[in-house]
């Protein structure tokens, strides 16, 4: 029915439709009854009529778990630093004073770098979303909240790359993942610090493993019949020669001292940690190269959405100057020509 005198229109709504309100701009919308999730045609906000609220019952247990893992990691780093200095550096100083001072400076520098980056990434805010205006039609422009969703736990809008962390109890901007070993999320605020921590930890553990092997060689008793092992290595293949020398050292390792046992354990632990962190660093750099985070990579699986793979993403992430970016198109074109 139309009333032209008052300039208003009255329309009956079919039973297959219902009225709803967009949380982004506050406009009334007429939607099909089978549409629990809809996108506003004005502001672009996405509304979920049946939101899944995160469980908060195990929030305290997850925080205790994170504190436990952080304590384990801190104790391990202190053990590698203090145990390595106690076990390796008497051997290094016995060789030469200059050599001992040189390696001491390197060890202290790597230890301070690793511990400082760990403290920053663990206690720095992972990324707080920006407060924006929502809920009023005059204040929200056309497409201002495109693909935004609403977090019912924080009672705030979420951008497409913002996720709510159940462990931290807040929304994280550009959230990559929640790492229990640092007790914090990795997001826009500390992602660069997290990558710097991985690089520093890999260099430190690699250096520790090399120094452990170097010290073990000087601690173990000299090989008996060294000339025979050397001639065997020359006559046979290199692999067999290395195997023979390794077996000789293992036979002498029966009489290894406490210092040697600690060096052996530090070597195995350092190599294991270095390998694991190297895989994690490669994964992080791959996602950055693709212009994604770990969570956005998971959400884009099975869809046609794909980020722009470019070295520019890496340079932008690390804050490199624009002068380096000018050479990237040439490199990209060379790769395309090579493929064709």
**Active-site residues: which are they?**
179
Whose CA is closest to 189, among 271, 275, 124? 124
Would you call 52 helix, strand, or coil by DSSP?
A: coil
CB 284 within 8 A of CB 275: no
DSSP 8-state secondary structure symbol assigned to residue 255: G
Would you call 274 helix, strand, or coil by DSSP?
A: helix
Q: How far is residue 51's CA from residue 6's CA, in Å, rounded to a whole number?
A: 40
Contacts 24+ apart (CB under 8 A), 107-115: 107/81, 107/207, 107/211, 110/200, 110/203, 110/204, 110/207, 111/81, 111/204, 113/200, 113/204, 114/77, 114/197, 114/200, 114/201, 114/204, 115/77
Q: How far is residue 217's CA from residue 222's CA, in Å, rounded to a whole number?
A: 9
CB 252 within 8 A of CB 220: yes
Which tokens belong to 200?
Answer: 């520093």
How many CB atoms are located within 10 Å of the residue 273 CB? Answer: 21
Q: How far is CA 314 from the centre of its chain?
A: 14
DSSP string, 112-132: HHHHHHHHHHHHS---PPPP-
């Amino acid at each position: 029915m139309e009333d032209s005198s008052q300039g208003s229109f009255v329309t009956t709504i079919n039973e297959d439709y219902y009225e709803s309100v967009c949380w982004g701009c506050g406009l009334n919308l007429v939607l099909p009854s089978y549409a629990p999730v809809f996108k506003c045609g004005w502001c672009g906000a996405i509304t979920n009529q049946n939101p899944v609220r995160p469980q908060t019952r195990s929030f305290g247990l997850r925080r205790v778990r994170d504190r436990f893992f952080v304590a384990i990691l801190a104790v391990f780093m202190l053990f590698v630093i203090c145990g390595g200095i106690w076990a390796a550096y008497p051997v290094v100083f016995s060789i030469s004073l200059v050599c001992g001072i040189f390696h001491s400076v390197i060890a202290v520098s790597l230890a301070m770098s690793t511990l400082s980056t760990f403290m920053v990434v663990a206690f720095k805010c992972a990324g707080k979303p920006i407060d924006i205006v929502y809920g009023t039609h005059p204040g929200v422009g056309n497409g201002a909240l495109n693909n935004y969703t609403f977090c019912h736990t924080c009672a705030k809008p979420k951008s497409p790359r913002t996720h709510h962390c159940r462990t931290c109890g807040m929304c994280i901007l550009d959230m990559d993942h929640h790492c229990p070993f640092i007790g914090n999320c990795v997001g826009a605020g500390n992602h660069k610090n997290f990558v710097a921590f991985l690089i520093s930890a890999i260099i430190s553990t690699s250096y520790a493993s090399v120094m452990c092997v170097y010290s073990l060689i000087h601690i173990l008793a000299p090989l008996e019949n060294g000339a025979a092992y050397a001639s065997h290595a020359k006559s046979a293949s290199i692999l067999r020669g290395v195997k023979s020398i390794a077996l000789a050292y293992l036979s002498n390792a029966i009489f290894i001292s406490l210092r040697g046992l600690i060096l052996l354990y530090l070597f195995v632990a350092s190599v294991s940690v270095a390998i694991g962190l190297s895989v994690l660093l490669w994964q992080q750099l791959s996602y950055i190269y693709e212009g994604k985070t770990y969570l956005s990579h998971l959400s884009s699986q099975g869809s046609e959405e794909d980020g722009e793979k470019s070295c520019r993403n890496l340079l932008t992430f690390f804050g490199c100057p624009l002068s380096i970016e000018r050479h990237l198109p040439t490199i990209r074109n060379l790769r395309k020509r090579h493929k064709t």
